[in-house]
Chain A
């Protein structure tokens, strides 16, 4: 420990107490969802005498929940594939060409993060009505692919930033054609970035609510749409069961990446 660290820690108690209180504020509301999910009652409550798995069961057996899970998976995978293809193509093209135009175009591709979702909702509702894409899987896949695209571009460009463009030229001068250079030289180097970008794109789609509320109705009902409806009327404890699954998965994923990061550093 350096002297400045020791100095900093000596006057840290209050700051650390506040930081842990803030962490509790972030964490505890989420943890409350877990006991609620085991309630035997039909309404929102903590289990008192006994616990029950009925709300987990209804995620599988209740046709509306299971259809939503399937719909979210289908749309998420479709959007992920499309966003990853487009985002990777763009990032590699921009990296290899290195022209000023590419930098400016990157700002265009970031727009879907910055533009408020309600603006997207109006925009896509009007456009998809004109194109006949309302309440179709294709319509939602297209929207979610565009919302995931910026995250793919950011992550793939992030991994490419450490890669020398002359590597590709070297491969080419040794006789590889463009396709060979891409699949043997570039892609193996940026695979981690592509996988991370794809994961971001999938989660973006999995979470997206507002546009889905506007441009889908009966044919396509994603999970967020179903939760939204469940929150609007009688609050269904099945949401707690679903929330528990998602919270546990998130914490496992974060712990996994954290330990992998730690072991990579060690």
Chain B
């Protein structure tokens, strides 16, 4: 009897241990992460004085509107380009031979791991006025004066697509791989042209993958800081860089906190929407 009681109490003790293991990291995160992040939301309503004055800037401040518009525009362009290129790459990955697949996937995954700073450096070296692209074009006599390819919106879009492309390819590849590869030949056997088989069979089946990958690229594009800040050269300013300038130079904490809250809310909305199409955890796994 007492042995049973002892083993029961030890089972309860071990249960208790697992609860500690579960809850201690959460408590840590709640205290050191959640509270500071929620405080940003609070700041947006309290600094410099209580009220919604910071949010009124969304309607009144032309600079704020321009930055938000630039962010949306570049985010949308990046998403469309990354999806278009990513879809073709994912399609080729699914349908090519194993050796080719291994090399292509290796390139995609390896580039995925290279830091945004090193990539920005590489693009500056390539695209600046005395950079390799301009030097090559001028040496070949195609152009007489250097093209301005960087420290403007073109540079930002090139750098962002380069950074986001693996984020589009990998979820799309997972999705396309899951499509039954007998369906398209079946449609062809029933008389569909290749284009019709793609349009009416393959494309609709890949729609969840397209939406999922698009939302992921958009989420990261909206908040992206390093690439636009370096390749935009202070001329093409996206919202994250604008926020950082408000804090470090003009010291407008309220405005910065408001824009950060708007950014956070947009990202959370997109994630909620994403969760309708795919397993968010799966999508975020590197």
Q: CB within 8 Å of B: which residues of A?
A: 2-5, 7-9, 11-12, 15-16, 18-20, 22-23, 25-27, 29-30, 32-33, 36, 44, 46, 86-87, 89-90, 92-94, 96-97, 102, 105-127, 142, 146, 149-151, 154-155, 158, 172, 177-178, 181, 200, 203, 207, 209-210, 214, 224, 227-228, 231, 235, 239-240, 242-243, 246-247, 250-251, 253-255, 258, 262
Contacts and interface: CB of A to CB of B under 8 A. Distances in A.
B13 interface: yes
B121 A4 contact: no
Interface string B258-286: 00100110011001000000001100111
B264 to A, nearest CB: 5
A126 B181 CA distance: 53
A115 B264 contact: yes
A70 B132 CA distance: 33
Given A15-B91, A110-B281, A97 B29 contact: no
- Closest 9 pairs (CB-CB, A-B): A116-B223, A93-B22, A93-B21, A19-B92, A178-B14, A127-B36, A123-B36, A86-B25, A89-B21
A30 B281 contact: no
B257 interface: yes
Given A19-B92, A94-B22, A209 B39 contact: no
A96 B15 CA distance: 9
B137 interface: no
A10 to B, nearest CB: 10
A110 B257 contact: no
Nearest to B111: A26
A8 B101 CA distance: 14
- B contact residues, range: 35 or more
A5 B181 contact: yes
B37 A116 contact: no
A114 B268 contact: yes
13 contacts: A8-B184, A12-B95, A18-B85, A22-B165, A26-B107, A29-B122, A93-B23, A111-B34, A116-B222, A120-B37, A125-B247, A224-B115, A231-B121
Interface stretch (B56-64, B123-131, B141-149, B204-212): B123-131
Nearest to A121: B244
B120 A231 contact: yes
B162 A3 contact: no
B203 to A, nearest CB: 14
Interface in B12-54: 13-15, 17-26, 28-30, 32-37, 39-40, 43
Given A125-B247, A239-B121, 10 more contacts: A20-B104, A26-B108, A89-B25, A122-B243, A178-B13, A203-B113, A210-B244, A214-B244, A235-B121, A250-B113
Contacts of A247: 114, 118
